[in-house]
């Protein structure tokens, strides 16, 4: 067995929480980028379930290319109409036939994909009808011979499907936590029950300057549930109050919140949607353009640009390494004393076993009293344990036990 290449280094500088300026973003589940991420991941999981049920194993696939083309709609207080449907297409590669006992069995990849996308939309959007508001399409072809061969390599540990990067970091700053919790609050079951006018298309952007956080929240209102201008303003006011209450519970910093700041009351412009997503009126989406694997967009941080959604959960390190890196980072920060901040960086090489990356690197900011030598063995132990158990991530992903975007 080859020896793993583990690397530890002490980072210089200050934690992100101590920088003068910090910027953080999260796109909610109804944002066009999140919708196409979810659609791609839904297709992958549908294929996984079919392969497992029919053949006892997950077969090669990667359906991580998706495009959402916005439609056209007219929203008005009390209702509205979708004039031109949204178009969603998921593309990629998937095993579409299997030979067993000299008999070829076809896999209905296209039907599975279209059904999975529609089911995803039905499960996540209350007012978006996937049968009338969306044209669902797929462009999934058989896999290339070399990648199928890599997938089918014998052995207990799968071989990497790609040369990919995974990055995770810990801990989240107070600003990052607030952004994450803010979107989750507005898209929670409780909020939808108490304030049903708030649509799923929520986006939260935070700017922290020193000890003051400015939140910009975009939260469209469901036109059919919003009777008039006063009703709309009450909803916006209530959203702002809930965000401020959350902030008061979450941090001691000063927080202000601007909700739907693009409104222009003089011109009669309000953030209304018929279906709950801005995709109905021309906002488009791309797989991998939204949240990273920890659910945030964090330009002040080290992170990977890999799209996790739609990649197979068996040997595509573009998915597995981002999940594993975040798990390892959380463990290092939680279990090793003296860590201010940690970054885990993983790099695979196509064809190599997924538990033996080209490098597993940990960069740490330490408390002043600590030396890298005092934490190295604990960090290496965590990295080795996570890599030893990497094949367990497939089941965790299929059970929706980890965050992907």
- Which are the contacts of 105, defined by CB distance < 8 A and separation ≥ 6? 54, 97, 98, 99
Average model confidence (pLDDT) across the chain: 95
Q: Comparing C-alpha atoms, which of 202, 197, 198, 186 is closest to residue 225?
A: 197
Q: What is the pLDDT of residue 155?
A: 67
Phi, psi values for residue 346, rounded to 5°: -120, 140
- Which are the contacts of 327, defined by CB distance < 8 A and separation ≥ 6? 168, 386, 402
Residue 1 has pLDDT above 60, yes or no: no
Q: What is the pLDDT of residue 3?
A: 85
| DSSP string across 150-185 | HHT--SSSPBPSS--EEEEEEPPPHHHHHHHHHHHH
CA gap 279, 177 in Å, rounded: 27
Residue 147 has pLDDT above 60, yes or no: no
Q: What is the pLDDT of residue 102?
A: 81
Q: What is the pLDDT of residue 235?
A: 98
| Number of Cβ within a 10 Å radius of residue 43 | 30
Residue 118 has pLDDT above 70, yes or no: yes
Query: Under a CB-based contact definition with an 8 Å cutoff, are residues 81 and 274 in contact?
Result: yes
Counting DSSP H helices and E strands in the chain, the numbers are 9, 17
Each residue's pLDDT tens digit, 199-236: 999 999 999 999 999 999 999 999 999 999 999 999 99
- Which are the contacts of 12, defined by CB distance < 8 A and separation ≥ 6? none
Q: What is the pLDDT of residue 99?
A: 87
* Residues 97-109, mean pLDDT to the nearest whole number: 90
In which element (H, E) is residue 90 found?
strand 86-94
* Residues 303-332, mean pLDDT to the nearest whole number: 97
Each residue's pLDDT tens digit, 162-179: 999 999 999 999 999 999
Percent of the chain with pLDDT over 70: 97
* Residues 261-279, mean pLDDT to the nearest whole number: 96
- Percent helix / strand / coil, the chain, rounded to 5: 35, 30, 35
CATH class of the domain defined by 174-286:
alpha beta
Instruction: Tell me the domain boundaries of the chain.
Output: 174-286
Residue 269 has pLDDT above 60, yes or no: yes
Q: What is the pLDDT of residue 271?
A: 97
* Residues 270-293, mean pLDDT to the nearest whole number: 96
* Residues 262-286, mean pLDDT to the nearest whole number: 95
């Amino acid at each position: 067995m080859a020896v793993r290449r583990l690397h530890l280094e002490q980072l210089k500088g200050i934690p992100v929480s101590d920088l003068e300026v910090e910027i953080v973003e999260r796109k909610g589940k109804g944002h066009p980028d999140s919708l196409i991420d979810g659609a791609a991941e839904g297709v992958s999981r549908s294929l996984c379930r079919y392969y497992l049920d029919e053949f006892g194993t997950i077969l090669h696939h990667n359906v991580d290319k998706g495009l959402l083309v916005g439609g056209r709609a007219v929203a008005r207080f009390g209702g509205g109409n979708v004039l031109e449907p949204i178009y969603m297409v998921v593309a990629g590669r998937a095993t579409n036939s299997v030979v067993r006992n000299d008999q070829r069995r076809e896999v209905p990849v296209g039907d599975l994909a279209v059904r999975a996308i529609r089911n995803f939309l039905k499960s996540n959007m209350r007012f978006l009808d996937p049968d009338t508001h969306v044209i669902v399409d797929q462009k999934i072809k058989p896999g290339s011979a070399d990648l199928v061969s890599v997938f089918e390599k014998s052995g207990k540990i799968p071989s990497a499907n790609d040369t990919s990067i995974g990055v995770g970091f810990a801990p989240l700053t107070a600003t990052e936590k607030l952004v994450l919790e803010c979107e989750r609050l507005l898209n929670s079951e409780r909020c939808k029950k108490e304030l049903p006018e708030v649509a799923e298309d929520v986006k939260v952007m935070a700017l922290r300057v020193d000890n003051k956080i400015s939140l910009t929240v975009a939260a469209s209102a469901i036109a059919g549930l919003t009777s008039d201008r006063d009703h709309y303003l009450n909803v916006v006011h209530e959203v702002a109050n809930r965000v401020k209450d959350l902030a008061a519970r979450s941090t001691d910093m000063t927080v202000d919140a601007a909700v739907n700041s693009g409104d222009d009351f003089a011109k009669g412009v309000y953030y209304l949607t018929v279906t709950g997503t801005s995709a109905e009126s021309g906002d488009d989406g791309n797989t991998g353009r939204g949240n990273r694997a920890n659910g945030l967009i964090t330009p002040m941080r080290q992170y990977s640009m890999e799209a996790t959604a739609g990649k197979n959960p068996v040997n595509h390190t573009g998915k597995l390494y981002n999940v594993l890196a975040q798990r390892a980072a959380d463990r290092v920060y939680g279990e090793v004393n003296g860590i201010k901040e940690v970054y885990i960086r993983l790099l695979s090489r196509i064809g190599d076993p997924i538990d033996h990356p080209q490098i597993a690197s940990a960069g740490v900011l330490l408390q002043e009293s600590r030396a890298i030598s005092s934490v190295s063995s604990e960090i290496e132990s965590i990295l080795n344990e996570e890599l030893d158990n990497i094949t367990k991530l497939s089941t965790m992903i299929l059970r929706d036990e980890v965050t992907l975007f």
